[in-house]
Amino acid sequence: MTHRTPPTGSPAVPEAAGHLLRQMLRVRRLEEQCVELYSAARIRGFLHVYIGEEAVAAGVMSALGPEDAVVATYREHGHALLRGVSAGVILAEMYGHVQGCCRGRGGSMHLFDAATHFYGGNAIVAGGLPLAVGMALADRMAGRARVTACFFGEGAAAEGEFHESLNLAALWRLPVLFCCENNLYAMGTALARSQSQTDLALKAAAYELPAWSVDGMDVLAVEESARRAVDAVRAGGGPHFLELRTYRFRAHSMFDPERYRDKAEVARWTERDPILSLRRSLEATGRFSEDDWNALDREVAAEMEAAVRFAEAGAPEPLDDLQRFVYSER
């Protein structure tokens, strides 16, 4: 018996496609803004952008319900935004302002938001997987029909925590959706230089959980697969694993001179830009025009301008508060 479900192709452009296009564009514009603000030294620390990978977060998030939980990595601005954290609050966090979602204590790599069940923002590779397993364990024990979606890069598959977590989740049939964002590189290390088995769905399937690969540059395919997997997890089908094949168009972080890949490879992938691809296929249906695109673009640009204004208007936390939140305030 195989645990690998073959992916089904993209369905014909559904109504929801307009929404997905908008969501991807919001992530793109937010992060373009972040890069600019980083260059202007308004944002500091490490900044990892998701540009090129937007279809993954957009597709998976739209398959989740409002009560579901999300665990993510340090490359999580888009996940937080699409989960419902406002762009202004995200930027304020990166400014280190108290108006940020973590009062400026977390920064770009550690966005958390209780209201949207967004459990971070983990900057230890594979550190989020055991956490997701435990979240799901609690849901199962409490009888809640909630799904925990856990995002991580393909680099995490080399860590022991990946293997220990998949095994535990499958052994206990816990409601986790593992979302492996395979962008082919962990910093400068290509997948083929770090894994003896580069088929990550096959690797995951060794733990006896349904696992399959999805074209992560096709938001409709991601959404469709995520929906199937989320439904199955919620129905008690145990953990599922999606390998989302994608690519990061930009450097790993703001400090990466990209010695490890050539420009031609990047150029080949940018031709598959998930936003451009969806825009083109929507235009091909005749139901989406250039004017529609321009209107959307203006609307998103206005959202981001307002977000920057919000972040700029904020202020750092008073130093007297330094010692807070080490222990709970009762």
Partner 1 sequence: METTYREAMRTAIREALLQDDRVFLMGEDVGAYGGCFAVSLGLFEEFGPERVRDTPLSESAFVGAGIGAALNGMRPIVEIMTVNFSLLALDQIVNNAATLLHMSGGQFNVPLVIRMTTGAGRQLGAQHSHSLEGWFAHVPGLRILTPATVEDARGMLWTALEDPDPVLIFEHGSLYNLSGELAEDAGPVDIHAAAVRREGGDVSLITYGGTLPLTLEAADRLAAEGIEAEVLDLRTLRPLDDAAILATVVKTHRAVVVDEGWRSGSLSAEISARITESAFYELDAPVARVCSAEVPIPYARDLELAALPSAERVVAAAREAVGGGG
Distance CA 268, CA 280 (A): 17
Q: How far is CA 16 from CA 13, 278, 282, in A?
A: 8, 12, 11
Residue 16's binding partner out of Mg ion, ligand TPP, partner 1, none, with CB under 5 to 8 Å set by partner kind: none
Distance CA 247, CA 23 (A): 18
329 binding partner 1? (CB under 8 A): no
Considering only residues 40 through 69, tell me which ones interact with partner 1, judged by CB under 8 A: 44-46
Chain residues binding ligand TPP by CB under 6 A are 75, 123-125, 153-156, 181, 183, 185-187, 252
Instruction: Provide the Cα torsion 56, 269, 245, 304; round to 10°.
Output: -10
Closest to Mg ion by CB, 3 or 75: 75
CB atoms within 10 A of CB 209: 23
Size of the residue set binding partner 1 (CB under 8 A) = 43
**Can you read off the two tokens belonging to residue 251?**
């450097």
Which range touches partner 1 (CB under 8 A), out of 64-72, 107-115, 262-270, 281-289?
107-115
188 binding partner 1? (CB under 8 A): yes
Chain residues binding Mg ion by CB under 5 A are 153-155, 183, 186
Closest to partner 1 by CB, 17 or 156: 156
Paired sense of beta strands 185-186 and 189-190, if any: antiparallel
Q: How far is CA 4 from CA 24, 63, 96, 108, 205, in A?
A: 28, 20, 44, 35, 7
Closest to Mg ion by CB, 106 or 153: 153
109 binding partner 1? (CB under 8 A): yes
**Binding interface with partner 1 (CB under 8 A):** 44-46, 96-97, 103-107, 109-110, 122-127, 155-156, 158-161, 186-190, 193-195, 256-257, 259-260, 316-317, 319, 322-323, 325-326
